[in-house]
């Protein structure tokens, strides 16, 4: 985490770029140009299918916003649509 990085309080359907979303226990990379999501579970956190690799976003029900949870649906064509509901978002910073 860089102290000089651009930070925002929320992402929206109009946001672009690659963002690191930090929650209470994990980090999440949102690439809103490629429309992919990657969960990077923190120490002691549960592991989910697809963790630590970008997955295509199917739909975003609730975009990340500091102080709130987000809800994203992922296109896992090998099985079915998966979803992630986060713990509270504490920081959103631009990666690129």
Confirm whether 48 is domain-assigned.
Answer: yes
pTM here is 0.91
Q: How many domains does the chain have?
A: 1
Beta bridge partners of 47: none
Please write the tens of the pLDDT for every residue from 57-77: 999 999 999 999 999 999 976
Name the residue range of residue 29's domain.
18-94
The rounded distance, in Å, linking the Cα atoms of 78 and 74 is: 11
> pLDDT value at position 81?
86
Does the residue 2 lie in any domain? no
Tell me whether residue 8 is in a domain: no
> Is 4 part of a structural domain of the chain?
no
pLDDT tier for residue 1 given thresholds of 50, 70 and 90? low
Nearest-CA neighbor of 22 among 85, 66, 74, 83? 66
Judge whether 86 lies within some domain. Answer: yes
Chain Cα centroid distance, residue 29: 5
């Amino acid at each position: 985490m860089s102290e000089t990085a651009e930070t925002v309080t929320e992402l929206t359907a109009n946001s672009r770029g690659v963002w690191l979303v930090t929650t209470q226990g994990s980090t999440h990379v949102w690439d809103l140009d490629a429309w992919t999501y990657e969960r990077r579970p923190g120490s002691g956190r549960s592991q989910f299918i697809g963790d630590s690799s970008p997955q295509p976003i199917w739909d975003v029900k609730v975009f990340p916003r500091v102080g709130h949870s987000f809800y994203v649906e992922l296109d896992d064509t090998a099985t079915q649509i998966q979803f992630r509901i986060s713990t509270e978002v504490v920081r959103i910073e631009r990666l690129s």
